[in-house]
Amino acid sequence: MTIVHLLEKNAREFGSDTALVEINPDQPETRRLTWHEYELVEPTPKVRSYRREISWAVFNEKSNRLANMLLSNGIGKGKKVAILLMNCIDWLPLYFGILKAGALAVPLNFRYSSDEIEYCLKLAEADVLIFGPEFIGRVEAIADKVSKSCALIHLGASCPAFAEDYNDLISESSASFPECELEESDDAAIYFSSGTTGFPKAILHNHESLIHACYVEQAHHGQQKDDCFLCIPPLYHTGAKMHWFGSLLTGSKAVILKGTASKHILSAASDEQCTIVWLLVPWAQDILNALDSGELRLEDFNLKKWRLMHIGAQPVPQSLIKRWLEYFPEQQYDTNYGLSESIGPGAVHLGVENIHKVGAIGVPGYGWQVKIVTPDGNEVEKGSVGELCLKGPGVMTCYYRDPVATAESIKDGWLYTGDMAMQDEDGFIYLVDRKKDVIITGGENLYPVQIENFLSSNSKIKDVAVIGLPDSRLGEIAAAIIELKPGVTCTEQEINDFCLELPRYKRPRRIIFDFVPRNPTGKIEKPKLRKMYGGDCLVDSQNKS
């Protein structure tokens, strides 16, 4: 069985049940949509936002129509179809339509520039690009360069002249399940690495990876038919989609929220009676800060059904979860670790029963093996730091068209993650840092995540990133870029005094008050920070020891 058969099953068994809801708080809308669009629920005085929903039957029909259109145009097994859309209710039906045709889905980051879009289309050898109205300008800039090998299809009103209209193309397509035999070993999707170190790599996954992600998510978070998942992170990334796969497996409802404002998150969870919400660290911080300041009040929301909050994509400060549980003591909590190369979250997870181990990323996930190794590949002793390696059905097939990078990352079936970790005596794994982010100062290894976790416990700090900067005496020093909470003042001396609890060699030697940039999946963009601050003259640490 492949993942497309789960959608067919849900359409048969739960056809009239709600599959997806889209909420756009910034786009009030009251018009009725035409047949080829989606069912609309009118805004009410309580929910002043654009809300539309589709059933499992409509979801399945949309996917079948796209699949049959693609097949009728020669886009089947081995072909690649790129998706360039903002989060919306169209996204997942498109994804499954591509898979049902036997083609490979190629999701693109909605932040990509024209050059990056062109680069990824060429690297993936895309045959089709389906894009939304937000990207007309970026796609038009490269249309002449890519259109000879890649058909351009626009989804939305006012189709530009350089593209074909999606609704026209599918209007006569069959709504029946297409005749395309799929095996778990067949290629399914190409995802792109986050690109924080330059142009991204193309990550190839097969259908076995996708179906495994469904069972991992359901095994970890116990989705049932009556659950409702609030999806906020970008669907082009493996994280959001693979968490939603638990809803797919159980035929349960999911809500796609466009926007990350704290009020909108709590309102959506309240109005839709969401039971599971996946947050990124900045959004959880914003919610807590809004509650602390009185900007939001819990009594204004009905959150009794919200049973699980989980976080992934980046290290999670212990202080953040302790604060969260003070406001939401009845909620379960989980953290999830993974990479796009391991089909997203779940290769390691804390487990809702292990709240006493907050701070760890957890234990090997369902169907996964883990080891921590030295540079020469030998496993380290517990308590020692090494590189985290993963093995399981969700490991990528390869970096597409990059055998050298593939050989560097996959050895004897093990995925070498580039993340430094350690395991305690109870078998729980702690993420120490990215291998490339380790700071070597005066011969000592500094792991920025440890310093970031410490600084995050300061009540004045909203977000923090620690990077290495060149130093004429020590080689590198730790610099802390600190983003303060709104309306808060703080001095460098206050931070230095706060850091006296750290061992001397771990104390940041430079304090910078600034915004901490994160990418759409919540990861700190440290290469950007190093570029911003690393070009300064060498720091003289002589008088800062």
Q: Which helix (H) or strand (E) holds 364?
A: strand 363-364
From residue 346, alpha-carbon distances to 54, 163, 215, 366, 410 in Å are 28, 39, 10, 8, 19
What is the per-residue pLDDT for 28? 52
Side-by-side strand order, sheet with 308-312: 39-41, 50-55, 18-24, 253-257, 228-231, 276-279, 308-312, 332-339, 344-349, 363-364
DSSP string for residues in 176-232 = SPP-----TTSEEEEEE---TTSSPPEEEEEHHHHHHHHHHHHHHH---TT-EEEE-
| 129 close to 105: Cβ distance less than 8 angstroms | no
CB neighbourhood size of 472 (10 A): 11
Place of tokens 């395991």: 423
Token representation of residue 42: 């009118």
Answer whether 0.95 is exceeded by the pTM: no
Q: What is the distance between the alpha carbons of residues 247 and 275, in angstroms, rounded to a whole number?
A: 11
Q: What is the distance between the alpha carbons of residues 131 and 151, in angstroms, rounded to a whole number?
A: 11
Q: What are the E-state strand segments in 34-149? A: 39-41, 50-55, 80-84, 104-107, 128-131
Q: What is the distance between the alpha carbons of residues 526 and 195, in angstroms, rounded to a whole number?
A: 12
What structural domains does the chain harbor? 1-368 (3.40.50.12780), 441-533 (3.30.300.30)
Q: What is the distance between the alpha carbons of residues 463 and 517, in angstroms, rounded to a whole number?
A: 9
Q: What is the distance between the alpha carbons of residues 12 and 140, in angstroms, rounded to a whole number?
A: 41
> Which residues, in sequence order, are bridge partners of residue 119?
none
What is the per-residue pLDDT for 504? 82
| 275 close to 227: Cβ distance less than 8 angstroms | yes
What is the per-residue pLDDT for 47? 43
What is the per-residue pLDDT for 198? 58
Half-sphere exposure of 358 (CA within 13 A, CB side): 18
What is the per-residue pLDDT for 538? 42
Q: What is the distance between the alpha carbons of residues 29 and 15, in angstroms, rounded to a whole number?
A: 26
Q: Is the dihedral of CA 53, 58, 63, 68 positive or negative?
A: negative
Q: What is the SS3 string spanning 461-489?
A: EEEEEEEEEEECCCEEEEEEEEEECCCCC
Of 278, 359, 350, 264, residue with least CA distance to 321? 359
Of 221, 204, 222, residue with least CA distance to 394? 204
Of 256, 315, 309, residue with least CA distance to 281? 315
Q: What is the distance between the alpha carbons of residues 479 and 493, in angstroms, rounded to a whole number?
A: 14
Cβ contacts of 482 within 8 Å, gap of 6 or more:
455, 461, 463, 464, 490, 495, 511, 512, 513, 514, 516
Helix count and strand count (H, E) for the chain: 16, 28
From residue 49, alpha-carbon distances to 40, 253, 259 in Å are 11, 19, 12
pLDDT in tens, the chain (545 residues): 899 999 999 999 999 999 999 999 876 544 333 333 333 334 444 444 589 999 999 999 999 999 999 999 999 999 999 999 999 999 999 999 999 999 999 999 888 889 889 999 999 999 999 999 999 999 999 999 999 999 999 999 999 999 999 999 999 999 999 978 899 999 999 999 865 445 789 999 999 999 999 999 999 999 999 999 999 988 998 888 999 999 999 999 999 999 889 999 999 999 999 999 999 887 898 899 999 999 999 999 999 999 999 987 666 778 889 899 999 999 999 999 888 999 988 999 999 999 889 889 999 999 999 999 999 899 999 999 999 999 999 999 999 999 999 999 999 999 999 888 999 999 999 988 777 777 877 666 787 888 988 898 898 999 999 998 887 667 788 999 999 998 899 999 999 999 998 878 789 999 999 999 887 667 788 888 888 887 443 444 443 43
Cβ contacts of 94 within 8 Å, gap of 6 or more:
62, 63, 66, 83, 85, 130, 155
297: left (phi over 0), alpha (psi -120 to 50) or beta: beta
Cβ contacts of 300 within 8 Å, gap of 6 or more:
none
* Helix (H/G/I), strand (E/B), else coil: 379: strand
